[in-house]
């Protein structure tokens, strides 16, 4: 979750980590990629992952974690338990 | 925020003394409240350090392409108009405002509120609600009240 504070006093809450954050008029053209911060595998399994039965996983995350995903398929989801990891794929 | 607070009401370090105090204790990460309370901040863990590095990488890469100012990492402290001395996890100051500072001001804790700050919720520490509440207070009372134009408080663990 991201809280965006602006000089006009407004606070916007952004729950979507898949969309980049805009630098708005303060940092023009900045498109900040949040996925690098939220990858559950950034430093191994994230404890929070165990709370979700279904966790979205992007191709970028797979690359980051060195899971090879051929280009003819796409990741549609992931099921995780404490010890098991199942990635669901579909034809691209 | 988990921090050790030091208070001694009989004296208060002025800006120069506080800067010297920080230099003589360079192994500590120190901040100062507006009331003079000195805070010893905890070092970050590996996960948070990795995320902090990513913040700075993306911000610096953008600035290398646009050259609109200066980007600072989490070790940089700013003296705010409230007299508090704070270090955001990443920050940006426009070139015009940076150029207005004297060389000595740039060398020490710059007496300026960044135009843009990022604060990252840390993985370890107190309960999640306490950590988030403290971070929200810091974002509002330290950064936005002192003139920050845009601030991001990122909680990478919560959707």
Quote the CA–CA distance of A60 and A63 in Å, as a whole number.
Answer: 5
Q: What is the pLDDT along chain B (159 residues), one digit of tens a residue?
A: 566 777 666 677 889 989 998 999 888 889 998 888 888 888 888 888 889 999 999 999 999 999 999 999 999 999 999 999 999 999 999 999 999 999 999 999 999 999 999 999 876 554 555 578 888 999 999 999 999 999 999 988 776
Tell me which residue in B139, B144, B158 faces A1 most closely, judged by beta carbons.
Answer: B158
Q: Under an 8 Å CB criterion, which residues of A touch B?
A: 1-7, 9, 15, 17, 21, 23-24, 26-30, 32-34, 36-38, 42-43, 46, 48
B119 and B153 Cβ atoms separated by less than 8 Å: yes
Q: Which residues of B touch A38 (CB under 8 A)?
A: 156
Q: Which helix (H) or strand (E) holds A13?
A: strand A11-14
Chain B residues interacting with chain A (CB cutoff of 8 angstroms):
46-47, 50-51, 54-55, 58-59, 62, 66, 68, 92, 115-116, 120, 136, 139-140, 143-144, 148-159
- A interface test, pick of B50, B88, B150 with most A CB neighbours within 10 Å: B150
Please tell me the predicted confidence (pLDDT) of residue B116.
Answer: 98
Residues 6 or more apart in contact with residue A85 via CB below 8 angstroms: A78, A79
Query: Closest Cα to residue B53, out of B39, B71, B65?
Result: B71
pTM of the predicted model as reported, rounded to 2 decimal places? 0.75
- Cβ–Cβ under 8 Å, residues B40 and B26: no
**Average pLDDT score over chain B:** 88
**CB-based burial, B124-150: b 16+ in 10 Å, e otherwise:** ebeeeeebbebbbebbbebbbebebbb
Whose tokens are 């399994």? That residue is A45
Contacts A37 to B, Cβ<8 Å: 51, 54-55, 120, 154, 156
Query: Does the pLDDT value for residue A91 go beyond 90?
Result: no
ipTM: 0.88
What is the torsion angle, in degrees rounded to the nearest 10, for the CA atoms of residue B128, residue B35, residue A6 and residue B91?
Answer: -80
Q: Is B83 left (phi over 0), alpha (psi -120 to 50) or beta?
A: left
B148 to chain A nearest CA, in Å?
7
Cβ pair B116:A23 closer than 8 A: yes
């Amino acid at each position: 979750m991201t809280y965006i504070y602006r000089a006009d006093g407004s606070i916007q809450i952004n729950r979507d980590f898949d969309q980049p954050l805009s630098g708005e008029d303060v940092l023009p053209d900045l498109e900040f990629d949040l996925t690098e911060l939220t990858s559950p595998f950034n430093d191994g399994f994230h404890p929070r992952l165990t709370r979700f039965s279904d966790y979205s996983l992007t191709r970028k995350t797979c690359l980051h974690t060195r899971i090879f995903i051929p280009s003819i398929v796409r990741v549609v989801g992931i099921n995780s338990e404490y010890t098991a990891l199942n990635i669901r794929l579909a034809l691209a | 925020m988990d921090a050790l607070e030091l208070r001694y009401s009989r004296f208060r370090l002025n800006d120069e003394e506080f800067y010297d105090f920080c230099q003589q204790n360079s192994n500590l990460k120190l901040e100062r409240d507006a009331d003079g309370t000195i805070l010893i901040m905890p070092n970050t863990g590996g996960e948070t350090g990795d995320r902090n590095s990513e913040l700075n990488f993306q911000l610096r890469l953008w600035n290398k392409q646009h050259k609109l100012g200066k980007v600072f990492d989490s070790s940089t402290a700013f003296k705010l108009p409230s007299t508090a001395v704070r270090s955001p996890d990443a920050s940006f100051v426009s070139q015009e405002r940076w150029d207005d500072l004297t060389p000595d001001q740039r060398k020490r804790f710059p007496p300026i509120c960044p135009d843009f700050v990022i604060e990252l919720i840390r993985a370890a520490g107190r309960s999640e609600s306490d950590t988030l509440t403290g971070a929200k207070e810091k974002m509002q009372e330290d950064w936005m009240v002192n003139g920050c134009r845009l601030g991001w408080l990122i909680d990478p663990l919560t959707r």
